Chains A and B, each alone.
Chain A
Amino acid sequence: MKAFRANLLVCAGTGCVSNRSFKVKLALEEEIRRRNLEDEVLVVATGCQGFCERGPIVIHWPDGIFYQRVSEEEIPMLIEEHLLKGRPYKPLMYTPTAVEAPIPKLTDIDFFKYQRLIVLRNRGIIDPEVIDDYIANEGYMALHKTLTGKTPDGVIDEVTMSGLRGRGGAGFLTGLKWGICSKARDPEKYIVCNADEGDPGAFMDRSVLEADPHAVIEGMAIGAYAIGAQTGYVYVRDEYPLACQRITKAIRQAEDYGLLGNRIFDTDFSFGIHVVRGAGAFVCGEETALMASIEGRMGRPRQRPPFPAQKGLWGHPTNINNVETWANVPIIMMRGADWYASIGTEKSKGTKIFSLVGKVNNTGLVEVPMGISLKELVYDIGGGIIGGKELKAVQSGGPSGGMIPKELMDLPVDYERLAEAGSIMGSGGLIVMDETNCMVDIAKYFLAFTTDESCGKCTPCRVGTKAMWNILDDITRGRGKKSDIDLLNEIAVNVKNLSLCGLGQTAPNPVLTMIRYFRDELEAHINQRQCPTDTCEKIAPAPCQKACPIGMDVPTYVALIAQRRFDEALEVIRWDNPLPAVCGRVCPHGCEYECKRATVDTPISICSLKRFVMDYERSRGADVVPKKEAPRKERVAVVGSGPAGLTVAHDLALFGYGVTVFEALPEAGGMLRSGIPGYRLPRDILNIEIDAIRNLGVEIRTKSRVGRDGIGLDDLKKQFDAVFLGVGAHRGLKLEVMGEDKFDGCLDCIAFLKSVNIDRQLNKPGDRVAIIGGGNAAMDAARTALRLGCSEVNVIYRRSRTEMPADPSEIEAATEEGIMFHYLTQPTQILGEKGKVTGIECIRTQLGEPDSSGRRRPVPVKGSEFVVSCDAVIPAISQEPDLDFLPKEHGFKITKWNTFDVDPDKLETSIPGVFAGGDTVTGPATVIEAIAAGQRAAVAVHNYLSKGEDLKDYRVPRSYKKVPRIDLTDEEKSTLRRPDMPHIPVAERKSLFSEVALGFDIEAAVSEAKRCLRCDQE
């Protein structure tokens, strides 16, 4: 053989080849020719070096210099520097992260330093396509030694004593397996090499076949001799073209050399190997399915026993081992069982090949002694986590294995220890995950794989894997339920215990370990609807749902309306909202301002759609009563029957508590009744919703003013286990201008509305009225005054229409009805004669710099004063809570806005057991915000009363149902428009109580709902 001064070993494993290593090889040969070095330097293509991430790899032998990420362009420099000038070429050397100087020698690189190569002893050294290279490295000597010096039983003893166990993952003692098959009394026997590796992230068997195919052939020949088989099969998946090609070529070379065929080494032993290409079904890695596939049948497993050793290929005894197991055999026969058994742990002997992938710096193929810790694998060999992030878990065994959390990183690589942790050794896939990986998502990913690869024969695997995937999918989309964890666990255990083959028996492992080690993360998905790593994008609510203070499941009920499933829409609405028909009329619908449809044309009429469902369903007698929990003994007093108080009462009644509501006025409803006029919120609608709450067992005591009419706050605290204060903000703020207290005809807006709405005082406040303010209360006062017969109604507002806080549709309706608006106008004093109001002096303003509310501050224009003549002035600028009901020494902390100071999380006041929410805490706000406060307070009251046990979570936006998207016709796509809300004609709007907005009919609602873009889905 010719000797060369230097060998350049070019990695020709799959990773490097796909990084153009064959091009690099050609370029090297070209450059060597050009420099006339052909007689001195040899370029060799080798099997996988393992450090795949750094490919293409070239190693200079004998210097042992490791060149990485070699490109064709750099070849001339490399050759000139290293081979002509004798200076190893630094730019192509490997520099680990956080290290500055490059490491020239392969043996000094951490990735290689800690490995122990037994199976892969020839990797990167020999050309796998040249049998002489293998033979030159003691190849086929083990076979010769065995055939000429050992009995078959002697071989089996040797392999048994070595402690070699199946490297396919199950870890059955190889020698024992051979022994069973060798004892079978059948002259026809088979052996099989299982190279149907197919789990994501695993490429051990592929690399062994590519790097050293003769080791596998030699191992199989030794096994065949021991067992008494004449024929062997290598079952390799067709997706591994290089492996198929190299093993096929190697078999041919071995046959040419007489190392396969008849009378090998002139003994009586004859043996041949066939290659069978698998079509790429994961289940065919299962031995009974694999045999079915070799026989030409569908790759579906069958129950064992009978085991292949009893009844295998075509009914004959068959021994199946994995590629890596076979490749271990020659060296065991060469060096002996004692030597082999000296490596590893007590029960796991030898080495194990892993494909180290995922979020680790050094990705690649490594061979390590059994017993090495996962920590050493990830940190010493793997070089730690990419980007300095924190390790979270390692998945061994691919989709059949389990997640091993970072707390268990001291765990040694050992069949039994990995199984105790809920994982498996598996065939050697090792996927490293960092803090940014969502474990729920990872479990779902692996399940998707096993669901797809399940053959479908046995029921538990076929249905159970998909059922688990569906549950996980729901959880990652915010549809998870608390009971899901137990159900998931139960299904997983059943699939594990009941499935026919290993695929199903191990498929639940990722789910089970996820529940075992990452339950917090799973619970966050379900209970808080949050993905801690922000991986599950669709878990976040759609923009409309996010905008809603109570997180109503808008996308679901809108989708249900579009599909005419109104009864289900009703359910979804009722689960979230105790006052839906009220909200369908008076909610300021922040959801619509966030609606993504607005970027196409106009937002969805979410508010009116909700009203439609409630009106339609109730008109046909349908309603939904949410389920009540078992009764509890504690009783809660609620002061005030506005939206906050009603909601607290509603939710606490559902939790099982006895609730009594104290209302000062003769009728319940708070501001809903005293403030909002009937033409906007009809009384029968309000009554239905309040009655529904009464029907839950809530007692509402009207005309019961706490603090004055006998019952004091202290009495409530004594008689009840907890108290909620929802007294609202009913005291109008004064204008603080001259003349305000001097003349008759100055009315407080809230008092005015209450006198009309509750006391039925239907006398007009004056003939010509001026309302001061721009909110909904001002609009209500103005439109009510008009209905009472005032001949002229003026609204005076100090900013422009754009800044006006009232609902645009209210302003529009008021304008239609003939109300006069004076924008950019500010009152300066109230004028009067003989003790009666005669007018209001105003000044024009212009908008200046924004104030703390973000709106531009009105600045008076000097000398622009003018007078609006009128005989009544109704300021409607803002309100504050009326706290007169409190005793003198009440002990509550009160803010400077005269509201209750509460814990923002629990809504508990400074007095334990007394909670407050709604306008009385926030100042004047919206109905929906009061409902949100009520829902929060109900949970807080429950948690207070349950004293640390059976705690409830605050409500989070839920997605209740999976409603598939419907396809729209082209015509629908082009013609759907937001429908106008039908109103009664202006001329007919005389009555205080006929509702102005008529609501959508069925067709308008359905076509409107169809416009929804379904942001909740992909």
Chain B
Amino acid sequence: MVSSIINGQKVECEEGTTVLEAIRSLGIHVPTLCYHEALTAYGACRLCVVEVITNGRKRLAASCVYPIEDGLEIITDSPEVQSARKATMEFLLARSPDSTYLRERAEKEFGITQLRFVLEPEDRSDCILCGLCVRACAEIVGVSAIDFVQRGIKSQVEPPFLKGSDVCIGCGTCVLVCPTGYIKVEHLSRIAAVHEFPRYGTENVSDHAIKCRVCGAYHLGPAYPKDYEKLFTNV
């Protein structure tokens, strides 16, 4: 067990716990975006930042990937944290000003109604690069049909060499997990090299899908046959 101090309150938790898990165990709200409890934490969106104090030094760090340490002091709601999260949301919106999902969250959680800056149209996209699809494809489905390509502001999620992937099984997990609705069912035909997808329940899919390490079920796509079927009836 390691003990840390969250907002002045002493907390005991098991080694290997992340700061985010420890904070949430106290019922304190921390906004997240690229985090999903069924997937490896990624620490990219920076929305879950908190202040951590180590050796008397205070700094902002993403709580989802910060391992809890003995004596670590954490502040979750200081003005610095608030303004840092708001700034992060502004950055996200600057790239994805048309994303309804982001705009709603920005307004509701951060009171952002106007954008002070946006990127040029060629740098905009509704894909917020949270990487949930990439990790879900690798960790839940187990195929890694998609990954990040390019770098910096040109980053995007694509199958290798921007060609149809021959490992995509067309399960639609990426569609389900995408928070902004950027990946659509229609895209699957572009992601996969083989356009004849196996249907849910066929041997092919269950062979590939793996159990969620949190709940033990096929948590995403294949776990909800109705949603899954619904996805494909409209294709």
Contacts and interface: CB of A to CB of B under 8 A. Distances in A.
Interface of A: 281, 283, 298, 300, 302-303, 305-306, 451-460, 462-467, 470-471, 487, 490-491, 494, 497-500
Interface string B34-69: 000000000111110100000000011110011101
Interface in B45-98: 45-47, 49, 59-62, 65-67, 69, 84, 87-88, 91-92, 94-95
Contact of A454 (B43, B44, B47, B153): B153
Contacts of B92: 459, 463
Nearest to B41: A303
Interface in B150-180: 150-155
A480 B60 CA distance: 31
Q: Is the interface of A mostly helix, strand, loop or mixed?
A: helix
Given A459-B45, A462-B155, A498-B87, A305 B119 contact: no
Contact of B152 (A298, A462, A467, A499): A462
A458 B45 contact: yes
B153 to A, nearest CB: 5
Contact of A303 (B66, B69, B119, B120): B66
Interface of B: 43-47, 49, 59-62, 65-67, 69, 84, 87-88, 91-92, 94-95, 116-117, 119-120, 123, 129, 147-148, 150-155
Contact of B119 (A460, A470, A500): A470
A456 B153 contact: yes
A460 B91 CA distance: 6
Contacts of A302: 43, 65
The residue among B47, B66, B94, B151 with the most chain A CB atoms within 10 A of its own CB is: B151
Given A460-B46, A464-B91, A497-B60, 13 more contacts: A451-B152, A453-B151, A454-B151, A458-B46, A459-B47, A459-B88, A460-B87, A462-B155, A463-B91, A463-B95, A463-B119, A463-B153, A466-B123
A414 B152 CA distance: 32
B58 to A, nearest CB: 11
Max chain B C-beta neighbours (<10 A), residue from A303, A305, A454: A303
B146 to A, nearest CB: 13
A306 B67 contact: yes
A302 B61 CA distance: 11
B116 A487 contact: yes
Contacts of A467: 91, 94, 117, 119
Nearest to A484: B117
22 contacts: A281-B151, A302-B65, A305-B66, A305-B67, A452-B152, A453-B152, A454-B153, A455-B155, A456-B129, A456-B148, A458-B44, A458-B46, A460-B46, A462-B155, A463-B153, A487-B116, A487-B117, A491-B117, A494-B87, A497-B59, A500-B44, A500-B46
B153 A462 contact: yes
A303 B62 contact: yes
Contacts, number: 105
A302 B95 CA distance: 22
Nearest to A483: B116
Contacts of B69: 305
A302 B69 CA distance: 18
Residue of A300, A305, A456, A470 with highest tally of chain B CB at under 10 A? A456
Nearest to B89: A459
A281 B148 CA distance: 15
Contacts of A305: 66-67, 69
A774 to B, nearest CB: 51
A965 to B, nearest CB: 14
A497 B155 contact: no
A240 B119 CA distance: 35
B120 A470 contact: yes
Contacts of B129: 456-457, 459, 462
A464 B92 CA distance: 9
Nearest to A504: B46
A150 B168 CA distance: 57
Given A467-B91, A471-B117, A498-B84, A455 B60 contact: no
B45 A303 contact: no
Given A456-B150, A467-B117, A487-B117, A303 B43 contact: yes
Nearest to B87: A494
A807 B192 CA distance: 68
Contacts of B87: 460, 490-491, 494, 498
Most buried by B among A281, A300, A460, A499: A460
A452 B150 CA distance: 10
Contacts of B120: 470
Question: Which 6 pairs, one residue from A and one from B, show the smallest C-beta to C-beta distance?
Answer: A456-B155, A454-B152, A463-B91, A494-B87, A303-B43, A466-B153
Nearest to B72: A305
Contacts of B67: 305-306
Q: Which of A302, A306, A453, A466 has the most CB of B within 10 A?
A: A466
A302 B62 CA distance: 11
A302 B46 CA distance: 12
B44 A459 contact: yes
A490 B94 CA distance: 15
B15 to A, nearest CB: 12
